[in-house]
Amino acid sequence: MDVTSSSNFPWVTVLALLPLIGTLGIMLTPRESHDTVKRVALGTSLVTLAGTVAMCLEYKTNGARFQFVQSYDWIKAFGVHYAVGVDGIALVLILMTAVLTPVIILASWHEAEDGKRGVRTFFALLLATEAIILGVFGSLDVFLFYVLFEAMLIPIYFLIGSYGGPRRSYAAVKFLLYSLAGGLLMLVAVIALFVVSAHRLKHGTFDYRALLAGDLHIGHGEQVALFLGFFIAFAIKAPLWPFHTWLPDAAAEAPTGVAVMLVGVLDKVGTFGFLRFCIPLFPWAARELAPYILGLCVTGILYGALLAIGQRDMKRLVAYSSVSHFGFIALGIFAFTTQGGSGATLYMVNHAFSTGALFLVVGFLASRRGSRMIDDFGGAAKVAPWLGAAVLVAGLSALSLPGLSTFVSEFLVLVGTFTVHRWFAVVAIFGIVLAAVYVLWMVQRTIHGPVREGIETFRDLGSREAWVIAPVLAVIVVLGIYPKPLLDAINPAVKHTFSTVRPHDPAPSVPVTLGGPR
């Protein structure tokens, strides 16, 4: 079967270049022209979004596995290529990034003004982050992926360290050290993969499609070592328990828009890496280690939810809830079923908007009160009803209320896992119960009840804030009602990805007749 697309237009390259051009334009703008800088950043992100929508419309869900492919020799002596393209998984994640970036820029409209590096640098770093992430999702060369995977650290480090809260330096350094440690493990695995390909294919290569097509016959011990090198790096990036401890500090200290970029977008590179590299390249190791990884997933689901219940800082609550959500995503991936994998991929998108909405409304509340502590709030919906409504919808999406987007993906993950690992799915369900506890507790304490002193002067959502939150909530509702367009793109890619570990979905373990179970 043909694995490349007939389309010759370099969509991935163009989409990654657009934010870079915007970054250059911002750096050429006079330092004092803050409004111009913001308009250039917003305009660039909207043009990138328009281009992404055009690429999605041209993508053929029943076409080749990888489409819009470009491949050129980069470092020929080492088998390194500039190779980019998308399958359905990468496509929806690129679309997710392109939709959220204008929201992030609007949400950050006034956040950079107190930073020590200035407004111009802040928005240039945001656009640079978008460009790198688009390149990561579109990479079809292992070495290119690794370079961009590491490059993501640079703008996020400066965004947290220069524009974050009181403990920004600690949070930024912790984020950097964790990520660098994972990156070094991955570098060793990348080099080892090149050596293995040189022995098995008679020529070393980093080309992802060549590695898939070539029968590498990697020994079991080698597979486990290579798998773990990639897996730990991605588990840190996701983050998956117990590699998560950098996330609460980084998310709590980051400006609101940067927190959305970090947890909503950048962290998806980790779970994307599981699907792109760990499973197709090292199928035997993935199968053998899956039960242990599923154990980490359900532990993370419960641990993250329990820690979220105990938080008083709303940003840290949202961060710990994300640890729980990433456990669900990884659970669906390592169940190796189409339902689980498709649900996990859709969960990546839905989590970005759901958690993004939570971070945004927390930012709105904190900017009015000057505090992120839940105990400082109460009765906000009585004086700012539209803000209260936004908090309620964002919270309900986080606990996977039917009719909102996260319910669909969580349901698919649990169904796909129950088919093959019943007890892991049963334990994971308790995470949903705990999610209702921490979300409803936060909502009740912040927007309901008596109006606390200092809350009575709250203003309702302004026009800029409405433009920030409305598209995010609209996506949550639309994908909760009609997720089919995304699933149509995701399903074939997931089937291809899992074909090396499980060619067909297993039959249900409980026989069913017209009269019910027997």
pLDDT digits (tens, 9 = 90+) for 207-219: 888 888 767 777 7
- The mean pLDDT value for 427-446 works out to 89
Residue 219 near residue 256 (C-beta atoms within 8 A): no
Measured CA distances, 507 to 334, 496, 512 (Å):
17, 19, 11
**64-120 confidence digits (pLDDT tens):** 888 998 888 888 777 788 899 999 999 999 999 999 999 999 988 887 765 556 888
Bridge partners of 378, per DSSP, are none
pLDDT-based confidence at residue 509 (cuts at 50, 70, 90): low
Question: What pLDDT sits at residue 8?
Answer: 75
Question: What pLDDT sits at residue 518?
Answer: 46
Please indicate whether residue 499 or residue 279 has the higher confidence score (pLDDT).
279
Residue 71 has a CB neighbour count (10 Å cut-off) of 17
3-state secondary structure of 512: strand
Helix extents (H) in 276-337: 279-281, 283-309, 314-333
The percent of residues in the chain predicted with pLDDT above 70, rounded, is 94
Helix (H) or strand (E) holding 513: strand 512-513
**Is pTM beyond 0.85 here?**
yes
Residue 205 near residue 195 (C-beta atoms within 8 A): no
Q: What count of residues does the chain have?
A: 518
Looking from the CA of 455 toward its CB, the CA atoms found within 13 Å total: 24
Identity of the amino acid at 296:
L
**371-408 confidence digits (pLDDT tens):** 888 888 888 888 888 988 999 999 999 888 888 888 98
Q: Which two tokens stand for residue 162?
A: 């220069």
Q: Is the pLDDT of residue 35 over 90?
A: no
User: Phi, psi at residue 501, to the nearest 5°?
Assistant: -105, -30
Taking the CA atoms of 395, 333, 243 and 101 in sequence, report the sign of the dihedral they define.
negative
Give me the chain's average pLDDT, please: 87
- The mean pLDDT value for 298-323 works out to 91
Helix (H) or strand (E) holding 107: helix 88-107
Q: Is the pLDDT of residue 460 over 50?
A: yes
Question: What pLDDT sits at residue 457?
Answer: 82
pLDDT-based confidence at residue 148 (cuts at 50, 70, 90): very high
164: DSSP letter: S
- The region, left, alpha or beta by phi > 0 then psi within -120 to 50, assigned to residue 502 is beta
Residue 176 near residue 183 (C-beta atoms within 8 A): no
**217-251 confidence digits (pLDDT tens):** 777 888 899 999 999 999 998 888 888 888 888 88
